[in-house]
Amino acid sequence: MTLADWVAGAARRLAEAGLDDARREARVLAAVGLGLAPGAVLTQGERVLSAEETAPLAAMLARRVAREPLSRIVGRRGFWTLELALSPDTLDPRPDTETLVQAGLDLLPPPAPGKTPCLLDLGTGSGCVLLALLSERPDALGVGVDIAPGAAATAQANARALGLADRVLVVVGDWLTALRGPFDLIVSNPPYIPSADIAGLEPEVRCFDPWRALDGGPDGLAPYRLLAREAPARLTPGGALAVEVGQGQDADVAALLAAAGWREIGVKQDLAGVGRCVVARGRQE
């Protein structure tokens, strides 16, 4: 069997499984499985594959047909300008979450001599949001918190791989309970799926993302109530909060923050025009 034959057959199986962009995904699987650059899959199409080469390719293909996300099979995900490792304890970062990164950058004051902004990322997972922020702000320091030790280890490994470890502290803990601050910016992509809705999610999410990172309680708003109540005490005067929200949750989350006394509350839309991020500032003293 040639490489081109394998890619064609894999693309057919992926398409039959209902997956979009099946041929591109087949090429990615081939490149990763054979250790090739993506373009080499096209230029080496006549290469004859050995049994030792096709066996791991078949295993990878079976995982994708079973709807395991391509990024989890590959073990990495591109996010912002970064390449991040994933693990079973982390969410697979979505492009929508880049809205949260941009919102955080917009809330930070411009770099100034002698000033070191301190950032806190609650539920850091792979570290995608915190590390993206720090990559853009070399003057800043950051703390990431996650209740899952595996997620914290993944975030710390990503920080090392990106050369950011000297500006990052990753803590295993239950959000704000072990932290005093103060921080200039708190960001979070919290669990926000209503508990009863999780079973109806796409298999790539339902079966492979950690449920603890998805389940936001009966109405999906439990983490935001906690943040509205407790985050102000961890902020510098005038410090800011930015949180990702699910589709249709922006008004409810904004109302929770307003009722708790937050100010300058706003909503940031993602590229699809969905209210994806709610921002606010704490008390000004």
Which residues define the annotated binding site? 123-127, 146, 175, 189-192
Q: Which residues are annotated as a binding site for S-adenosyl-L-methionine?
A: 123-127, 146, 175, 189
Cβ atoms 143, 186 nearer than 8 A: no
The structure tokens listed for 37 are 């650059």
Q: Which residues are annotated as a binding site for substrate?
A: 189-192
Distance CA 20, CA 274 (A): 23
Instruction: Write the burial class of residue 139 (CB in 10 Å: 0-12 exposed, 13-18 middle, 19+ buried).
Output: middle
- Please report how many Cα atoms fall inside a 13 Å half-sphere around the Cα of residue 25, on the Cβ side: 26
Distance CA 250, CA 105 (A): 19
Cβ atoms 69, 92 nearer than 8 A: yes
